[in-house]
Structure 1
Amino acid sequence: MATRPPSPGTQDESVPAHPEFDPRHPLVVFGDHSFCAGASLEVQRMPGPHMHSQVELNFVLDGAMTYWFDGRELTVDAGRLCLFWGMVPHQVIDRQDPTRFICLYVPMSVFLGLPALSRFRDAVFRGAVIEATDLRAWDRDIFLRWREELLSGDPALTEIVRNELTARVLRIQHEGWRDLRADASAIPSLAPHDAARIDHVERMLRFIAERAHEPISAEDVTATTPLHPNYAMTLFRRSVGHTINQAITRHRLDTARSLLISTDRSIAEIVFGAGFGSSSRFYEAFEQRFHESPGVFRQRMRRGTQAGTGQP
């Protein structure tokens, strides 16, 4: 098996890791949607914000780490467990030296397939950073074991970890959690008869993640499933809280914002690199969502860097 580049938050190039990272581009390559673990325990600052399709769980063993998460800075220290959807742009911008954590990547289908997680799941897909408020003394050892077993590559152990981790997430939902952003909102839940279709929703989300930089349409997205296009669009909206066209635009905006932060590309290059067909449409969508122009956003972020916010 070929050695992969470092996983998010790490710089160790000698070990396999997930997801794959292309150093020539500030975003994760959407080639791996598997259930897996980060190979390195050591946390390092990341060169820029990135996205990936899985839900990411972080259990901080020692030290403290600060994320830039969709425009906010959030610090998580030792003994805390957080999770979030990797499709929201995020970046480790600072950490104590040393800081160690366990990083697990869980396919979104695990969350879509649990009706009991409706409010919790909906918050995750709205961009919440979930923190478990009730941890147990044995969580540290269990997460270390899960990481070791996932890295072993044994399919039987992977399935066991999937079941055990699913139960742990259900306990978080039952025992208590909070959104570190403190402003999550719920979206409509899947109806029971729709829950069996979650694999189609995941397929559509993957297609958007991988192809949003191209001139794709809602029809292109629904064509990835055997469902009737109208039903596929309805199912998608019920699952993630917005339409396919809105999801495409959101992903393009997230990509553009990440590029504005982490590269010196011109705004014109970013417009078309992110998948927008015209500058006017990009500026309109950017200002509508983020309430400032791309140029003002880039200047503000660079002023923050010069002021010592910890970004590379």
Structure 2
Amino acid sequence: MDGDRSTALRRRNPTPVPNHERHFYARNRAFGRFGIRIFEPQLMPMPHWHGHVEMNFATGVRMTYDFDGSRLTVPEGRLVLFWAGVPHQLTGLEPVGEGPMRLANIYLPLDSFLQMRHIMTLQAALIGRGMVALPDTLCDAGLVQRWYADYRSGDFERAEIVKMELNALFRRAPVAGFDFLRDPLHEIGSDRSLSTAHVRHVIAMVRHVLENLEKPLLNAEVTAVTGLHENYALALFSRTMKVPLKQFINRMRLMRARALLVESSTAISEVAEQSGFSSLTQFYARFRAGYGISPAALRQHYVRMDLR
């Protein structure tokens, strides 16, 4: 990577780390919104997960992630992609060179990623719980800095161009070649029987869930988009996502509910409805089970953080 560009990424726009994640959640049909931040990376006290495809670009540091039970090293100066719905935790930081450690995070909502055209290879890799590093010839610090400037401009058109450039980058990646920091499940171990075609069926089911999250979702309806037998499609989903379909739907609804709670003043009863819960009682029970806190308490927690 060019030294001047690396230095530029480290020193320009030294944006502090947000003290919480609400800036990347929004009231849309997903459960997160597009965002970019550049900051000094910090170790994470525990694993977390959220509703984005996350991209990391580190300079001045190599990072260690605990990712779905695997310990992975994220290299400096390369754009690294993974689905952040997989539990992940930054556990190690190794300085490289004499400059400051800087990390650019790019958050792309999962539904936006799955709706991008002609990138099925990459979609299958990430939904298959792989972690991908793009070659440095495709993305350098100067490009990341330009994306960040476009995002920070507040100009809608510039932000849309960034997304279009990401789509083009994703399309170019299989042509240029990329490295797996962790192979997708359909390429490793006992899951070699999961072909890319199988993962594509899973992606179709995930898309249907995300596009209809506020509606009642029956297994038969979701699996019908694959053209496969219901039981076979359910087994395929569980093997790929490492979670049953019903549990996945519940997780996605909780993500949307948390987004609505921290981003808006929408009444809690309406949050439950927009997130697809059949009753307020069910919503409260599942929210507390998932987050260990009531919806009202979580909202108040974020309000207090805003006032700091």
Normalised by the size of structure 1, how large is the TM-score?
0.58
Q: CA RMSD in A?
A: 4.1
5 Å-filtered alignment, 1:1-312, equals 12-13=17-18, 18-19=23-24, 32-38=31-37, 40-97=38-95, 98-132=100-134, 134-136=135-137, 139-185=140-186, 186-188=196-198, 200-204=208-212, 220-221=216-217, 230-235=220-225, 242=237, 246-249=244-247, 273-274=289-290
CA apart distance, 1:250: 5.7
2: distance between equivalents of 1:170 and 1:230? 33
Structure 1 residues 99 and 32 mapped into 2: Cα distance closer, same or farther (>3 Å)?
A: farther
Structure 1 residues 18 and 75 mapped into 2: Cα distance closer, same or farther (>3 Å)?
A: farther
Q: Percent identity?
A: 27
1: distance between equivalents of 2:109 and 2:226? 17
5+ residue gaps, structure 1, are 1-9, 21-29, 208-218, 223-228, 254-269, 276-312
Count of residues paired in the alignment = 220
2: distance between equivalents of 1:86 and 1:236? 24
2: distance between equivalents of 1:251 and 1:62? 39
CA apart distance, 1:104: 0.5
CA apart distance, 1:17: 6.5
Deviations 1:1-44 (A, max 9, x none): xxxxxxxxx97347987436xxxxxxxxx985111112x42111
1: distance between equivalents of 2:116 and 2:18? 36
CA apart distance, 1:84: 0.5
CA apart distance, 1:114: 3.9
Structure 1 residues 36 and 237 mapped into 2: Cα distance closer, same or farther (>3 Å)?
A: farther
Structure 1 residues 92 and 79 mapped into 2: Cα distance closer, same or farther (>3 Å)?
A: same
2: distance between equivalents of 1:274 and 1:79? 36
Structure 1 residues 237 and 148 mapped into 2: Cα distance closer, same or farther (>3 Å)?
A: farther
5+ residue gaps, structure 2, are 1-14, 187-195, 252-285, 292-308
2: distance between equivalents of 1:36 and 1:181? 25
Normalised by the size of structure 2, how large is the TM-score?
0.58
The question of whether the paired residues in 2 share the 8 Å contact of 1:62 and 1:77 is answered with: no
The question of whether the paired residues in 1 share the 8 Å contact of 2:39 and 2:104 is answered with: yes
CA apart distance, 1:179: 2.0
SS of 1:57's equivalent in the other structure is strand
Deviations 1:212-249 (A, max 9, x none): xxxxxxx8335xxxxxx744332379899516981343
2: distance between equivalents of 1:137 and 1:188? 29
